Amino acid sequence: MAITIKDIARITNVSATTVSRVLNNKHEGVSLETRQRILDTIRELDYKPNAIARGLVTKKTNTIGIIIPDISNQFFSDIARGIEDGASDHGYNVFLCNTDDKLDKESKYINALKEKCVDGIIFASSSMPNIKIISELIKGSIPVVVVDRHVEIENVYGIYTDNFRGGYIATKHLIDLNHKKIGCITGPLGNHNSKERLDGYKQALLDSCITFNEDLVAEGNYKINGGMKAAEKLIRNKQITALFVSNDLMAYGAYKAIKAAGLNIPEDISIVGFDDTELSQIIEPELTTIRQPAYQMGIEAERALIKIISGKSVKDRNKSFSPNLIIRKSTSKYQAKII
């Protein structure tokens, strides 16, 4: 039988209220001797406060939910790590929900976190977000902070990267290396940040008077296999000399397709990725990419959520991080081949 707060009170000859005050570090009116007797008894009997009972009283569970689409992608595990580190510092536990980019799992986890009465939710939507469900969540009673994947719902708090700028500086880097036939492998175009990166690519071409050719664009799925299939399509007779790939996992897939076609990186095709996950500095040749601060995004999202839970104001509803170009060995200057 689990030890209850009433057992501690009876054994130490004080009221349950006094025990609760000591548990919550509210010592006014409790003598040092009484406090020590209560703490000793709690330790001897290994008493653990009942979280559900406590939640019924405080209306808080000191838990937050994290919903992300792909825990196997280091970008999202870095976000989750930042959230968990911040939550732990603030005395919160986390429930981590991985939706596998599937809408049915996304709905299931949103309902599960509501049933667990979490104090708040940090949410990165699937590639094809269900705006109705997300809108109900955001307009509901549980505070929500959206991270990475923008949702077109007013008054939502969000932590993002400037994806347009990321697509722009990636493409501009290739243009500055004298490339003109630059392909683009996008993320799933139902995803807001995939569209923004593609728009940045288009704008960089336009600003350098390079005509946009939609035949040089292929849609991917933010996974290795999607990058490989899209690259196979683009390198077939397209004479591209460079590729902007909208995330690092797909860039790894593009490597495989380019090497399978007997081509070399960067001599035949230069590649720029997006995210800067750890493998990008291990893969051969090391990947030039756009870094987004995933861990810091997680820290900021958790910080904003705790403020909202505590009824404090959050300075800016949409915090956007600037991406950085990380130049490595997968890009080089284009030189026309003399046949």
**Interacting residue ranges for ligand RIB, rule: CB under 6 A:** 73, 75, 148-149, 187, 193, 222, 247, 249, 274-275
Tokens of residue 309, six digits: 């839970």
Q: Where are the alpha helices (DSSP H) in the chain?
A: 5-12, 16-23, 32-44, 51-58, 74-89, 103-115, 131-139, 163-176, 192-207, 224-235, 248-260, 294-309
Structure-block tokens of residue 99: 């939706």
Nearest approach, Cβ of residue 133 and ligand RIB (Å):
18
Q: Considering the complex, what minimum distance in angstroms separates the CB of residue 334 from ligand RIB? A: 26
User: For residues 92 and 109, which CB has a smaller minimum distance to ligand RIB in the complex?
Assistant: 109
DSSP symbol at 284:
S
Asked if residue 314 lies in contact with residue 305, where contact means CB atoms within 8 angstroms, the answer is no
Least distance (Å) from ligand RIB to the CB of residue 122? 14
Cα–Cα dist 197/244, whole Å: 10
| Beta carbon nearer to ligand RIB, 41 or 127 | 127
Please count the other Cβ atoms lying within 10 Å of the Cβ belonging to residue 169: 18
**Least Å from the CB of residue 136 to ligand RIB:** 22
Nearer to ligand RIB, 241 or 292 (CB): 292
Q: Please compute, for residue 51, the number of CA atoms within 13 A of its CA located in the half-sphere on the CB side.
A: 9
Which position's Cβ is nearest ligand RIB? 247
Residue 106 or 275 with smaller CB distance to ligand RIB: 275
75 or 92, CB closer to ligand RIB? 75
* Least distance (Å) between residue 100 CB and ligand RIB: 13
